[in-house]
Amino acid sequence: MSIQQSSFPTTPTGLTRLGDGYLPGLLGIEILESAAGRVRARLPIRRELLAPNGYLHAGSVVTFADTLCGYGCRLSVPEGASGFTTIELKSNFLGTVREGAVMSTATLVHGGRMTQVWDAEVVDEATSKPIAHFRCTQMILYPRD
């Protein structure tokens, strides 16, 4: 399913609401800033986002970062594109948290006609200590003739 550029939200509030009823909404991702090439957000930590060992689950961190990169990609697709899909992602974990919130800023590293590469740094909101470094490659999709 492709989202038409004109109907895709561009404001932080619109992007936050876009996740309602989907995984980003279930996680509680709050978009704070949105523009072509950059998306910044916050994720409050709650028990459901933790692994049984009491630390933030790696899947929660990856989903958070991937969501920001995906929203940023959609805001940055070239003219004529109908959407995108993730073709590769990688995450290096540097720390964790048990409470509070994490913040992340996703930035466009490469914005080509066929691919985009995005980086997202996830940090502890209280200390600004890094939690993870995330990178993904998005393939840009175009309508078939």
- With 0-12 CB in 10 A as exposed, 13-18 as middle and 19+ as buried, what is 88? exposed
- Distance separating the N- and C-terminal Cα atoms of the chain: 16
| Average pLDDT for 9-19 | 95
| Each residue's pLDDT tens digit, 63-74 | 999 999 999 999
Nearest to 70 by CA among 56, 57, 89, 46: 89
Assess whether pLDDT exceeds 90 at residue 1. Answer: no
| Average pLDDT for 102-123 | 98
Residue-range definition of the domain harbouring residue 53: 5-141
CATH of the domain at 30: 3.10.129.10
pTM across the whole model: 0.93
Predicted local distance difference test score (pLDDT) of residue 145: 77
Assess whether pLDDT exceeds 70 at residue 5. Answer: no
| Average pLDDT for 79-104 | 96
Predicted local distance difference test score (pLDDT) of residue 6: 56
Count the domains in the chain.
1
